Amino acid sequence: MSTEQAVPADPIPPAKPSTPSARGRGRNLTVLGGSMLVDGGESSMISGLFPVIRASLGLSLGALGILTAAARLIGVVAGPGWVWLARRTSHKAVLVIATGFWGIWAILAGLAQNFTQLVILYTISAAGAAAGHAIVPEIIGDSFDDAKRGRAVGWLYGGIAAGAAVLAPLIGQLARVEDGWRYGFFIAGGLNVVFGLLIWAFYRDPGTGAAEAQLSDLTQEARDRESRVTWAKVRSLFGIRSYVLLLISRLLSSHLLVGAFGVVLLVDAFGFDNAVAAAVLAPFGIGYLAGTFAGGQIADRMHARSPLRGRIAFLQVAQVLFAVFAYFGTQVGWNAIWPFLVMFGLMGFAMGLNPGVNRPLVMSVVPPELRGAAFAVYVSVVESLGFAVYTLLAGFLAEAIGLQAVFLWLVVGLMTLNGAFLGLLYRPYARDVTNMEAELDRRRAHALGNDT
């Protein structure tokens, strides 16, 4: 048999590259990151200005736990709902509405006259933010190949952190303005609407599976034939053992409590003025910025050296580092604000190491069409449920045992446990990555008519 007869003809003509250009990907990340930054600013408004909100509306410390938990719990429903809607319409349409025009609810939250109104309006507003956390990682997976995803996630979350570092001291200064927290919500809601318009004007969807080496030269139609989402496929996510372990690890990740209760800890346990205590949000944001940039770069390099172990080892280190810095930042009674500024900066750095490694870990074991659903469960459901439980516990336990003891057990203790738990991930991750590569190879062969 001749060589010409042995090689099947390709029935699909060469496709134009479907992955966006570097400029297009950068533009997408810029407008999406800006929108997520503003969404995060609304939650910073609650955590950073809660002492003045508490005084304005006559609230107890437990109210902070309720507000934070409610905003997270709505994501359990909203995140998967936005992903479902995006599969039936488009990513762009959902992002324009949910992370953009949804800002009207933040404006209304600024008009709240009592705690009930604030909880309802702030919770509805938070439902829009759930869309970005579920859909944007999927877009990154479709835009960047596996070797570059850590850096891409790092740049996105690093950019958000850079903006947050600028906003943090401004948010803190609103405590000095009468009803300043209300103006903060008005501004955040207005900026959301602006970014909705920017997403509508500049965002371009890369297409499902466009960055996979095995699928990138296929047409979107050919990729879509192999990537239809069914309920059976969604349920199959829970048969991916390494994904399930990552979900459990997410439940053990309590570091978000530092952002939610850190300022209140400094006010109540260490006696700082609200505006002075809120200053720690700036180094926390700067540290997070440095962590995301460094984390994405280091995680990708460790992945290149050890594709099946590097990212896992790096994720373990990040958890333990955070626990160590959290101990010195919440359990030691420094006599001035500057040591807290340093420790909150280091906590932010350790926390920033996570996105550039945990998101690519999920992307590596989940089929392209299921990444939106996977991140909806990972962030909107599991992280939201875990964080809601932690914030409620922190809010109510603080009144019984003190906020400092809460940080010792719920932050330092759990993050140390999480670092050890991730050691269970090595063996199943190697198997699941191999299975995913085989599945993508099968899809390519099928699309090209070579699966004889």
User: Mean pLDDT over residues 138-147, rounded?
Assistant: 81
User: Mean pLDDT over residues 31-56, rounded?
Assistant: 78
**In this predicted structure, what is the pLDDT of residue 227?**
57
Does pLDDT of 349 surpass 50? yes
What pLDDT, in 10s, does the model give residues 149-200?
888 888 887 777 777 767 767 777 777 778 888 888 888 888 889 988 999 9
Mean pLDDT of the chain: 82
**Alpha helix ranges (H) inside 61-178:** 62-88, 91-98, 104-109, 115-143, 149-173
What pLDDT, in 10s, does the model give residues 89-111?
888 899 999 888 888 998 998 88
In a domain, 4, yes or no: no
Three-state DSSP string of 302-346? HHHHCCCCHHHHHHHHHHHHHHHHHHHHHCCCCCCHHHHHHHHHH
One-letter amino acid for residue 310 of the chain: G
**In this predicted structure, what is the pLDDT of residue 269?**
82
User: Mean pLDDT over residues 386-396, rounded?
Assistant: 81
Q: Which tokens hold the place of 225?
A: 């034939």
What pLDDT, in 10s, does the model give residues 281-319?
878 878 888 898 898 889 989 998 999 999 999 999 999
What DSSP line would sit under 341-381, residue for residue?
A: HHHHHHHHHHHHTTHHHHHHHHHHHS-GGGHHHHHIIIIII
What pLDDT, in 10s, does the model give residues 201-229?
888 887 776 666 565 555 566 555 555 65
| Max mean pLDDT range (44-48, 93-97, 209-213, 448-452) | 93-97
DSSP assignment, residue 19? S
Q: What is the domain range of residue 54?
A: 21-208+238-447
What CATH number corresponds to the domain at position 161? 1.20.1250.20
- How many C-beta atoms lie closer than 10 Å to residue 243's C-beta? 22
CA dihedral for 57, 275, 63, 61, sign (positive or negative): negative
H/E run at residue 46: helix 22-57
**In this predicted structure, what is the pLDDT of residue 328?**
94
User: Mean pLDDT over residues 405-426, rounded?
Assistant: 94
The half-sphere exposure of 8 on its side-chain side, counting CA atoms within 13 A, is 11
In a domain, 227, yes or no: no
**In this predicted structure, what is the pLDDT of residue 384?**
79
In a domain, 163, yes or no: yes
Percent of residues in the chain assigned helix, strand, coil, to nearest 5: 80, 0, 20
How far lies 82's CA from each of 100, 120, 438, 449, in Å? 13, 19, 30, 35
Does pLDDT of 122 surpass 70? yes
In a domain, 413, yes or no: yes
One-letter amino acid for residue 49 of the chain: L
Overall number of domains in the chain? 1
With cut-offs at 50, 70 and 90, classify the pLDDT of residue 53.
confident
**In this predicted structure, what is the pLDDT of residue 7?**
39
What pLDDT, in 10s, does the model give residues 9-37?
444 444 344 455 555 777 888 888 888 88
Full-model pTM: 0.75
Would you call 177 helix, strand, or coil by DSSP? coil
What pLDDT, in 10s, does the model give residues 219-268?
566 555 555 656 677 788 999 999 999 999 999 998 888 887 888 888 88
Cβ-in-10-Å burial (0-12, 13-18, 19+) of 23 comes to: exposed
How far lies 298's CA from each of 145, 322, 335, in Å? 16, 17, 35
Percent of the chain predicted with pLDDT > 90? 23
**In this predicted structure, what is the pLDDT of residue 345?**
93
In a domain, 147, yes or no: yes
- Chain centre distance of CA 311: 17
Rounded (10°) angle between helices 115-143 and 62-88: 40
In a domain, 121, yes or no: yes
